[in-house]
Chains A and B, each alone.
Chain A
Amino acid sequence: MKKFNQNSRYDFSIIENWTHPNSKVLDLGCGDGALLNYLKEKKDIKGFGIEKNKENWLLSLKNNIDVIQMDLESGLAGFETNSFDLVILSRTIQSMKNIEEIIHEMMRVGKEVVITFPNFGYWRNRLQILQGNMPVSEELPYKWFETPNIHLCTIQDFDNLCQKNKIKIEQRLILTDKKSVNFYPNFFGALALYKLISK
């Protein structure tokens, strides 16, 4: 399950900047539908959400979202190629099993793709490891024994994965405390936001 906090609003505004007005958007793991409603309000999008968790699914329904209950691990078989302008996977990829498969599916279904994730290479995480503990932070709120996050990665790791899969990074924004980080982002950046297109 995704935990939303005040800071999520900030990455909403960045995703909003990357979203074309009136476009058709699919949010994978949409939680309570907050991001889709935000984009509806700001960009008048037509949005659909996918959510596996039944409590979250119900919250989305109550929040006026059109939401499909399904497990992303089984791919996006019910969705036609290029049927969405934008497919978003926000702060969820680190908890998924088949990373390459879902990225591939997103690139198939969406003309553009946005993926956001907590940067494991952030210095505070590195520091906690140096101190001998698995990191717990605002972006990684779970203790090691309860975390759903099985595939944490660094910005450098994700860049390499995109290169390996011939995925073009159209835009990349690294954030710490709501501010953009340009200096050695893999060390100073807490949250990574990527906009991808197929090469």
Chain B
Amino acid sequence: MKENNSIGIVKPKIFKCTSPIKLSCGKTLDNYELIYETYGKLNKNKDNAVLVCHALTGNQHVAGRHKKIDKYPGWWDSLVGPGKPLNTNKFFVIGINNLGGNEGSTGPKSINPKTKKIWGADFPIITVEDWVKTQKTLINYLGIDKLSSVIGGSLGGMQALEWNIQFPYEVNNTVVIAAAPNLTAQNIAFNQVARQSIITDPDFQKGNFYASKNKPKRGLRIARMLGHITYLSNDVMGSKFGRKTKNKEYQFNFDTEFEIESYLNYQGDKFANEFDANTYIRMTKALDYYDPTKKNKKKLSEVFKKIKSKFLVISFTSDWRFSSSRSKEIVKGLLDNNINVSYAEISAESGHDAFLMSDNHYHEIIKSFFNRIFKS
């Protein structure tokens, strides 16, 4: 793979927060740790900070490599780096592994300080609102009062939106990509199937599997396979795999026959070895629960009343999990409040995953928006 202008070797850092956080679920964490990475330099005025919020299975490792030999760079390396659309020569970019995450931030795998045992099933469900609160604490710890921008796709886009609801005065620009103001019933349904596949895996052991040598890999594997199907479009699956088979003749057994099966198996296995089941089911819950209109039963345009930042909203034509019509709801809420907003509906065949792709037009849009920010 050709990679120009990568940020190079990066090192994750730890933020230890000793002040307690009251979570949406009612529980309190007395202290917690967040793993984060930064790219580029914070300027003198401390006004060039951009927070990148990650999606369901993402993490703080947005760009660059931890080791030279790492096979893959960070998950948004195509977008973030020197001279890239989100240019680290101009902006100070921050990636945070969310609370409850898989990369070392305090989560289900961590030790519960009260019991001195692994949290496991007892780890609380963290919401988008909680994440934004903890992100804000970390941003302030870095000496930043106000973000130049917050950007995120999918669940990350929900966090970017939530920043504007909780801290309207602390963010100047917002990029919301392939997101929605809340999930549809169909979306929640997919999440439920994913969760059920994990919870009903006998190896899940009600979430307390850490001491056991059996991990709920079967459940995670199926959850990931399902996810992958829904993140792609029928068209892109057709053009990538079609009905291609491994062998010329059918084998008439249940081994991998079609290439799409092989792809799903590979993705499922890879994920099941890397990702924590407790984190996964909690992250999908955060998606399901997010709904800024629920509190006080307000309309989106009322919820957006205090927003000050300038918005860029992007959707992709083939994304059926977070369809364009959902992004348009966000745009309408912003327009109703006279908020500066640009909206692009990008023709892309990759489905929901398009937000991670390196489409030229898509990257040109992000680049132009950040150029505007840099100039002003």
Residue numbers of A with Cβ under 8 A of B are: 24, 46, 48, 54, 57-58, 61-62, 64-70, 78-80, 83
Q: Is the CB of A66 within 8 A of B341?
A: yes
B361 at the interface (CB under 8 A from A): yes
* A68 touching B336 in the complex, CB below 8 Å, given contacts A62-B368, A78-B328: no
Q: Is the CB of A61 within 8 A of B335?
A: no
B188 at the interface (CB under 8 A from A): no
B365 at the interface (CB under 8 A from A): yes
Identity of the chain A residue whose Cβ is nearest the Cβ of B311 in the assembled complex: A66
Q: Is the CB of B345 within 8 A of A69?
A: yes
Interface centre among B331, B347, B361, B368 (most CB of A within 10 A): B368
Q: Is the CB of A66 within 8 A of B368?
A: no
Given the complex of chains A and B, what is the CA–CA distance between A99 and B341 in angstroms?
A: 27
* A68 touching B343 in the complex, CB below 8 Å, given contacts A46-B338, A78-B328, A78-B335: yes
Given the complex of chains A and B, what is the CA–CA distance between A47 and B371 in angstroms?
A: 20
- A-B complex: 3 closest residue pairs judged by Cβ atoms: A78-B332, A68-B343, A69-B344
Given the complex of chains A and B, what is the CA–CA distance between A61 and B346 in angstroms?
A: 14
Q: Is the CB of B336 within 8 A of A70?
A: no
Given the complex of chains A and B, what is the CA–CA distance between A78 and B341 in angstroms?
A: 13
B44 at the interface (CB under 8 A from A): no
Q: Which residues of B contact A58 (CB under 8 A)?
A: 361, 364-365, 368
Q: Is the CB of A61 within 8 A of B368?
A: yes
Given the complex of chains A and B, what is the CA–CA distance between A78 and B331 in angstroms?
A: 8
26 A-B pairs whose Cβ atoms sit less than 8 Å apart in the complex:
A24-B338, A46-B338, A54-B344, A54-B347, A54-B361, A58-B361, A61-B342, A61-B344, A61-B369, A62-B368, A62-B371, A65-B342, A66-B340, A66-B341, A66-B342, A67-B343, A68-B331, A68-B335, A68-B342, A69-B345, A78-B328, A78-B331, A78-B335, A80-B336, A83-B335, A83-B336
Q: In whole Å, how far is A52's beta carbon from the nearest beta carbon of chain B? A: 9
Q: Is the CB of A69 within 8 A of B343?
A: yes
Interface 1/0s, chain B 337-372, versus A by CB < 8 A? 010111111110000000000000100110011011
Q: Interface residues of A: mostly helix, strand, loop or mixed?
A: mixed
Which residues of chain B in 20-52 are interfacial with respect to chain A, using CB atoms and an 8 Å cutoff? none
Q: Is the CB of B344 within 8 A of A57?
A: yes
Q: Is the CB of B365 within 8 A of A61?
A: yes
Given the complex of chains A and B, what is the CA–CA distance between A83 and B336 in angstroms?
A: 8
Identity of the chain A residue whose Cβ is nearest the Cβ of B329 in the assembled complex: A78
Q: Is the CB of A67 within 8 A of B331?
A: no
Interface centre among A24, A54, A68, A80 (most CB of B within 10 A): A68
Q: Contacting A67 at CB < 8 Å: which of B328, B332, B342, B347?
A: B342
Q: Which residues of B contact A80 (CB under 8 A)?
A: 335-336
Q: Is the CB of B335 within 8 A of A48?
A: yes
Q: Which residues of A contact B328 (CB under 8 A)?
A: 70, 78
Given the complex of chains A and B, what is the CA–CA distance between A65 and B340 in angstroms?
A: 9
Q: In whole Å, how far is B329's beta carbon from the nearest beta carbon of chain A? A: 9
Given the complex of chains A and B, what is the CA–CA distance between A6 and B181 in angstroms?
A: 44
Q: Is the CB of A64 within 8 A of B372?
A: yes
Q: Which residues of A contact B340 (CB under 8 A)?
A: 66
Given the complex of chains A and B, what is the CA–CA distance between A79 and B301 in angstroms?
A: 12
Given the complex of chains A and B, what is the CA–CA distance between A24 and B372 in angstroms?
A: 22
Given the complex of chains A and B, what is the CA–CA distance between A54 and B346 in angstroms?
A: 8
Identity of the chain B residue whose Cβ is nearest the Cβ of A24 in the assembled complex: B338
Q: Which residues of B contact A46 (CB under 8 A)?
A: 338
Q: In whole Å, how far is A106's beta carbon from the nearest beta carbon of chain B? A: 16
Q: Which residues of A contact B365 (CB under 8 A)?
A: 58, 61
Which residues of chain B in 184-213 are interfacial with respect to chain A, using CB atoms and an 8 Å cutoff? none
Q: In whole Å, how far is A55's beta carbon from the nearest beta carbon of chain B? A: 9
Given the complex of chains A and B, what is the CA–CA distance between A24 and B340 in angstroms?
A: 12
Given the complex of chains A and B, what is the CA–CA distance between A118 and B332 in angstroms?
A: 32
